[in-house]
A and B are shown apart, each in its own frame.
Chain A
Amino acid sequence: MSLDPLPLCLLFSSALFCLGLIGALARSNTILVLLGIELMLNAANLNFIAFWRYGPATSPATGVMFVMFSIAVAAAEAAVGLALIIAVYRHQKSIRLQEANRLKG
């Protein structure tokens, strides 16, 4: 078992990714599914920072740039997802995934 920082960071981010995956698959509440997807996005950002810090040398701020753009896209995704949840709730009066099975409004 190596105790270098980079594998530890990667293990941390993969554990976070799998937690988000389990949450997105197991729960039937739409908000919790969206939060699981947010956790998976955050795990990807952790990988960017880990490789920026410990990986082969690149230009100094590359990883930081990647994570900032990724955070911006994740924020847009969260806003659109929650707006979709509110729109679905207005039609179905429920945010359970199993009950949102009609295309007709």
Chain B
Amino acid sequence: MKLQEIREKLDLALKSSVQSLDVEVTAAYSSDILSDVISHAREGNIWLTLHTHSNIVAVAVLQSLAGIILVGGRQPEEDTLERANKEQIPILTTKLSAFEIAGRLYELGIRG
């Protein structure tokens, strides 16, 4: 499923200025330990986290993730957005908790 479609269906807010959300989301991963994410997430995954600092962009670039969803209504820091825009990493936000949004993604057929 394309990130654009996920964004529409789950009513996610797009925060970074990416050119296109026409990327295929292969699976999802939810974790707040960065080492865990770079060791277990895979290319094209969408990542659920509550971290907002700029290192999440580095992790997404390293693993070629499809994008990052910040959960629980958290907003990205300014330099996080700056780096995300530079690296063309989509950052989306939701008011829902990680558990809730993971469940919705699962309902859409996205697997881990």
**Chain B binds chain A:** no
Q: Which residues of A contact B (CB under 8 A)?
A: none
Q: Which residues of B contact A (CB under 8 A)?
A: none
